Chain A
Amino acid sequence: MMHDLNLMVAGPQGSGINFTSDTFAKVMTREGYHVFTNAELFSTIKGDHSYFRVRVCKDMIRSYSERIDILIPLDAKSVILHTKELSKEGVIISEENLSDQRRASIPYREILQVVATKFGKSLADLNVMKNTVALAGASKMIGLDKEKLKKVISENFESKPKIAEMNNAVVDEVYAEFTPTHTFDLEPTAYKKRMFINATHAVGMGKVEAGLKFQSYYPITPASDESNYLERVMGKYDFIVEQTEDEIAAINMAIAAANTGLRSATSTSGPGFSLMVEALSYAGMTETPVVIFYYQRAGPATGMPTRHEQGDLRYALSAGHGEFPRVVIAPGDHKEAFYDTIDAFNIAEKYQLPVIVLLDKAMAMSNYTVDPFDLSKIMINRGKLILSETSDYLRYRLTDDGVSPRLVPGVKGGLITIAGDEHEEDGHIFTEDADNRVRMMDKRMHKMKFVHEEVPSDTKVKFYGIPTNKKVIVSWGSVKGPILDAMEIVKDVSMLQIRMMEPFPVEEVMKFLEGKRIITVEQNYSGQLADLLREKTGLETSSRIVKFNGRPIAFEEMVEVLSRKELKEREVLTYA
C-alpha cells in the first residue's frame, strides 16, 4: 500500500494544467485525504512550461515531494523534463501506445471521438478535453469513484453546464474503455471535513471575519489573488475593494480609509511595497492603524515574479525614513495566516500603528487542506476608537501608554487633525520645538513596549519537537512546512518558528535557544533571519541552510540536509 501519492500535471501555461490538478486535489480532499500542492508557473499567460504537483496522504503533509508517481504531461516537453523524477512504480499517462513500461496509454482519440459524435461536435472541438481524459485515467488507476470526479467537474463548470456534461461524458468513456495495467493502492482514510485553500483565501477570510471595510490594491503577482478573492465576496459581506492607479495610491487610500474609521488594508508584493514605503513612514508618524499584507516573491527588481523567495525580511523591518513603531508578523501556514490577519487588525487599532503581515509566494500559490477555522475564540479589539459625541478632543493627546483616543470624522464635538509633519497634541504642525519633538517621539516609540509586553508568547514564537534536542532549527514563514515534515523522519532536531519579527521576541527566543546548536533554514541568499537573530540576541547560527533558486524546499531535500552528520556554515539547497 502507498503512504503518499504524488501526481504532476505539466504543460504549457494556459493549457488547463491548474484546472486538472485542482480538480484532482478537490476530489482527494473530499475523500478525506490531506492534500498539498505546489505550483511552478512561468510569468507568462500562455505557452511556457509550467507544472503543478499534488501530493496526497492520509496523514498530515506540509510539503511537496521530489517524487512523481503519476505524470500527466500535456505536451512532449513535459515528458522530456519530468520523466527523470518518476518513482520506480511511477507512470506517465500518455496518448501513444509505446512499448515503454512506464506509460499508461489511453486511447485519447477514440474516446474524444465517441464523445464528439455524441454531442455533434468535431474532434478538434474536444481537443481541450485531453486533460480530462488523463485526469479520469489517473482517477481510475487510484480506484476513485467516477461520480465523485464528475461532481467536482460539474461544480467547476457551474456556469457552463454543457461543457460540464461533455467533460463528464469523457470521464464515463475513459472509465469504460481504459483498463490500466498499473494501479495505485493508497492507504485508506476516513472522511474529515477540510478546506482546500491557499494563503490568499485564508487571509481573505480572515479579513472578512475581522470586519475589513476597505481594501485597496494594485495588481501584482502573487498578491492580487487575495484582492480578487475579496472582490468576489464583497457584495455579500458589504465592503469595498478598490483597484488603484498604483501602489502609492493603494497605501494612501488605505491610510485615509483607516483615518476615516474603517478597518482598512492593502496587499502587495516587493515591487509594490517599495512604492508604499514613504506612506508607511507616514502611517507611523500619523499613528494610523493600517495593515499591509506583503507577499514576498523572488527579487530584486522585477526578479522572478511567479517564483518563491523570503528575501524581504530585513526590508520589511527597516523600510521607511525616520524611526517609527511598526509591527511585523510572519505566519508560517494558512491556518496561522487566517488568525494572524485578525490579530494584525487588532494590534493595528489597539496601538495605532502600521502592521505588516509578511507572507510569501509559496503560501500564496500553494493550495492545501486545512481544518475549518475555529471561529469561537475570535475577538475584535478596536482600541480607543471614539464613535460617539466627545469634547476637548486632541488627536495626539499624550497618555501613559502612548496611545491617544482615536476620533474619526463625522462625530459631534470633536475634529481630527492628522499630520505627517511633527505635530503637537492637537495635530497642528507649526512648532519645531525641541521638547515637543522629544515628547512626541517618546509617545510613538513607547507604544512598542506595550506591544512587546501584551502580545501573547504564542503569537511571537512557536516551538516544535523535543525540547531536550541539542539542535534547534530556527525558521520562519512557509519553510515551516518542509521542516515539520522532515522532523517526522529526523528526530534529533527541534524547531523554533519566529512569528513576530518586530518587536523581536528576545526573551522567548533566548528561552528556547540558549545553549543550543542553532541551524537556520530560510529561502533567501544571505540568511536574513540568522543576521536578525544575532543582532537582537547575540546568538550565533552554526549553519545557515538557504535556498534561493525560486523554488520552495522539497520534502526529500529537507530530510537529506537535516540528516547530515556535519553541516557547513552555509548550505545551499538547489532542488528544482
Chain B
Amino acid sequence: MLNTVNPPTKPQNYKTSVEIDWCPGCGDFGILNALVLALQELKIPNENVVLTGGIGCSSKIPHYVNVNTMHTLHGRSLAQAQAVKIANPRLEVISASGDGDGLGIGAAHIVAAGRRNVDLTYMLFDNGVYGLTKGQASPTLPYGEMPKSLETENLKFPVNPLFLGLASGFTFVARSYSYNIKHLKETLIRAIKHRGLAMVDIMQPCVTYNNINTKEFYDPRLYDIEKEGWNPAAASENDYKQKVPQAVLKALEWGDRIPMGVFLDYQTETYDQKLQRLVPDYGKKNYVMEPIETSGKPVNDVTELMDSFC
C-alpha cells in the first residue's frame, strides 16, 4: 500500500550515512542509486518500507537505504520478505538478493514465492559470480566460461532467472541494467507499483572478479524489448496463458542481443486477497497494532475451543 503522508523531500533521505564497502566501480552502486531515486519518486514514508537482504555483496544494500531493514541469512531474503508482507500488508516490501543467494542456496523460495504471489518486489543482483567469497561461479554464469577468478571453466548450465520467475508464477518479470539508472529506476517503480510478486533481474558487472560480463560486454548487447514492440501486459487469465510462452521465448535470448525491459505484467489475485478466503478479517485490522491484551489479560478467549473437546 502506498502511503503519501509526509514524504521526504530529498533523495538523500533514503540513503543512510553508513560508509559503503563495495569495490569502486561496482554495479551495486547504480542499483542503490536507482532504488533511492525510485523510493523518492514514489514518496513512500521511510518507516513504511522494509528492505530485506540475504548474504553477499549485494545483500548488504539494506545498510545503505534509510528504511526498515532486515539483513537476513544466506538465501533467505525472499522467505523473510514474504513473511513481513503477510504480517503487515500495509508495509511496502522490497527483497534484495544476489544470483548466488537467490538462485543457488535460496532457489526453493523463488519457486514457492511464485506460487503465493505476495505483493512485493524482488531485486536480483545478477553478476555471475560469488563476489564476497572471491569470485566463484554463480548459478547465472554461462556454460564454459572462465572469468579470471575461477580455477576451472564452468561446467554447469546457467539458470535463467526470468524463465524461472515466469515458470514459478511471478506476475511481474523484468530485466534491467545497473549502468542504465533511468531504465532501472523506471522498472523498479513499475515493479513496486505492481500488485503482486515482481522480479527485476538486474544485469550487473562485477569489476573485481568477472572480466567477461563487463560493461563493455553488456552495453552493445542489451536492447529494450518494449521499444521493439513487446507489450508485457496480460489483461486476463487467458491472455496470461498465451503471453507466458512468448515471454519465455524472449527471456531465453542470449548472445549478440540480450533482452531487457518488462516481460510480463499480469494483475491477478494477490496472496493477501487469497488469505481473506481463509481468514475473513485478515487485512481489515492491522495485526501489528491490534492489541492482544488489555492490562495484561488476553484478548482471545479459548473457552469455546475447550468446550469443543468436552
A416, closest chain B residue (CB):
B68
Check: B305 CB closer than 8 A to any chain A CB. yes
- Tally of contact residues, A, Cβ under 8 A: 74
- In the A-B complex, the 7 residue pairs with the smallest Cβ-Cβ separation, listed nearest first, are A211-B292, A245-B112, A253-B83, A256-B80, A256-B83, A195-B309, A380-B293
| Nearest CB in chain A: distance from B184 CB, A | 24
Q: Which of A249, A279, A380 contacts B298 (CB 8 A)?
A: A380
| Nearest CB in chain B: distance from A162 CB, A | 23
Contacts of A193 in B (CB 8 A): 310
Check: A164 CB closer than 8 A to any chain B CB. no
Contacts of A412 in B (CB 8 A): 45, 47
Q: Which of A238, A253, A409, A428 contacts B80 (CB 8 A)?
A: A253
A382 touches B91 (CB 8 A): no
B292 touches A409 (CB 8 A): no
Contacts of A416 in B (CB 8 A): 68-70
- Which of B149-157, B194-202, B203-211, B280-288 forms part of the interface with chain A? B280-288
Check: B228 CB closer than 8 A to any chain A CB. no
Check: B131 CB closer than 8 A to any chain A CB. no
A373 touches B306 (CB 8 A): yes
B79 touches A249 (CB 8 A): yes
Q: Which of B67, B73, B293, B302 contacts A252 (CB 8 A)?
A: B73
B79 touches A252 (CB 8 A): yes
A210 touches B70 (CB 8 A): no
Check: A209 CB closer than 8 A to any chain B CB. yes
B67 touches A245 (CB 8 A): no
B47 touches A414 (CB 8 A): yes
B86 touches A214 (CB 8 A): yes
Check: A116 CB closer than 8 A to any chain B CB. no
B71 touches A409 (CB 8 A): no
Q: Give chain B interface residues in 248-280, CB to chain A under 8 Å.
A: 275, 278-280
From A194, A196, A372, residue with most partner B Cβ within 10 Å: A372
Check: B216 CB closer than 8 A to any chain A CB. no
* Distance A248 CA – B75 CA, assembled complex (angstroms): 10
A249 touches B112 (CB 8 A): yes
| Nearest CB in chain B: distance from A429 CB, A | 6
Check: A44 CB closer than 8 A to any chain B CB. no
B299, closest chain A residue (CB):
A211
A417 touches B298 (CB 8 A): no
User: Could you jot down 29 A-B contacts, CB within 8 Å?
Assistant: A201-B309, A205-B305, A210-B292, A211-B299, A235-B278, A238-B285, A240-B282, A245-B111, A249-B108, A256-B81, A257-B84, A257-B86, A260-B87, A261-B87, A342-B298, A375-B303, A380-B292, A380-B293, A387-B288, A409-B91, A410-B88, A412-B47, A415-B47, A416-B69, A417-B63, A429-B63, A429-B71, A430-B18, A430-B63
* Distance A408 CA – B70 CA, assembled complex (angstroms): 11
Check: B183 CB closer than 8 A to any chain A CB. no
B281, closest chain A residue (CB):
A238
B66 touches A415 (CB 8 A): yes
Contacts of B298 in A (CB 8 A): 209-211, 342, 375, 378, 380
B112 touches A382 (CB 8 A): no
A375 touches B282 (CB 8 A): no
| Interface 0/1 of B86-128, CB less than 8 Å to A | 1110110000000000000000110110000000000000000
* Distance A250 CA – B14 CA, assembled complex (angstroms): 31
| Nearest CB in chain B: distance from A49 CB, A | 29
Check: A396 CB closer than 8 A to any chain B CB. no
Contacts of B81 in A (CB 8 A): 256
* Distance A235 CA – B301 CA, assembled complex (angstroms): 15
Check: A93 CB closer than 8 A to any chain B CB. no
| Nearest CB in chain B: distance from A234 CB, A | 6
Check: B238 CB closer than 8 A to any chain A CB. no
* Distance A134 CA – B123 CA, assembled complex (angstroms): 62
| Nearest CB in chain B: distance from A564 CB, A | 39
| Nearest CB in chain A: distance from B44 CB, A | 12
Q: Which of A204, A213, A216, A380 contacts B297 (CB 8 A)?
A: A380
Q: Which of A237, A415, A428 contacts B68 (CB 8 A)?
A: A415
| Nearest CB in chain A: distance from B36 CB, A | 15
Check: B296 CB closer than 8 A to any chain A CB. yes
From B282, B292, B293, B303, residue with most partner A Cβ within 10 Å: B292
* Distance A109 CA – B142 CA, assembled complex (angstroms): 71
Q: Which of A194, A282, A379, A387 contacts B289 (CB 8 A)?
A: A387
Contacts of A410 in B (CB 8 A): 47-48, 68, 88, 90-91, 286, 288-289
* Distance A420 CA – B303 CA, assembled complex (angstroms): 40
* Distance A266 CA – B75 CA, assembled complex (angstroms): 19
Q: How many A-B Cβ pairs are below 8 Å?
A: 208
Contacts of B16 in A (CB 8 A): 428
Contacts of A523 in B (CB 8 A): none
Contacts of B19 in A (CB 8 A): 430
Contacts of B108 in A (CB 8 A): 245-246, 248-249
Check: B188 CB closer than 8 A to any chain A CB. no
Check: A411 CB closer than 8 A to any chain B CB. yes
Check: A263 CB closer than 8 A to any chain B CB. yes
B288 touches A252 (CB 8 A): no
| Interface 0/1 of A163-174, CB less than 8 Å to B | 000000000000
Check: A142 CB closer than 8 A to any chain B CB. no
* Distance A210 CA – B16 CA, assembled complex (angstroms): 37
B6, closest chain A residue (CB):
A412
Check: B76 CB closer than 8 A to any chain A CB. yes
Check: B232 CB closer than 8 A to any chain A CB. no
Contacts of A239 in B (CB 8 A): 279, 287
Contacts of B160 in A (CB 8 A): none
* Distance A421 CA – B60 CA, assembled complex (angstroms): 10
| Nearest CB in chain A: distance from B205 CB, A | 23
B79 touches A257 (CB 8 A): no
| Nearest CB in chain B: distance from A243 CB, A | 10
Contacts of B296 in A (CB 8 A): 379-381
* Distance A245 CA – B169 CA, assembled complex (angstroms): 15
B288 touches A430 (CB 8 A): no
| Interface 0/1 of A202-219, CB less than 8 Å to B | 001100111101101000
Contacts of A427 in B (CB 8 A): 69
Check: A572 CB closer than 8 A to any chain B CB. no
Check: B30 CB closer than 8 A to any chain A CB. no
Check: A233 CB closer than 8 A to any chain B CB. yes
Check: A425 CB closer than 8 A to any chain B CB. no
Contacts of B46 in A (CB 8 A): 415
Q: Which of B73, B83, B306 contacts A205 (CB 8 A)?
A: B306
Contacts of B76 in A (CB 8 A): 248-249, 252, 279
Contacts of B288 in A (CB 8 A): 260-262, 387, 408, 410
Check: B300 CB closer than 8 A to any chain A CB. yes
| Nearest CB in chain A: distance from B310 CB, A | 6
Q: Which of B18, B70, B75 contacts A256 (CB 8 A)?
A: B70
| Nearest CB in chain B: distance from A13 CB, A | 24
* Distance A238 CA – B60 CA, assembled complex (angstroms): 35
| Nearest CB in chain A: distance from B91 CB, A | 6
| Nearest CB in chain B: distance from A422 CB, A | 11
From A256, A257, A427, residue with most partner B Cβ within 10 Å: A256
B63 touches A242 (CB 8 A): no
| Nearest CB in chain A: distance from B43 CB, A | 15
Q: 16 extra interchain contacts, Cβ-Cβ under 8 A, other than A195-B306, A252-B83, A414-B47?
A: A201-B309, A214-B83, A240-B87, A252-B79, A257-B83, A279-B73, A282-B73, A375-B298, A380-B293, A381-B296, A409-B68, A410-B90, A410-B286, A413-B47, A415-B66, A416-B70
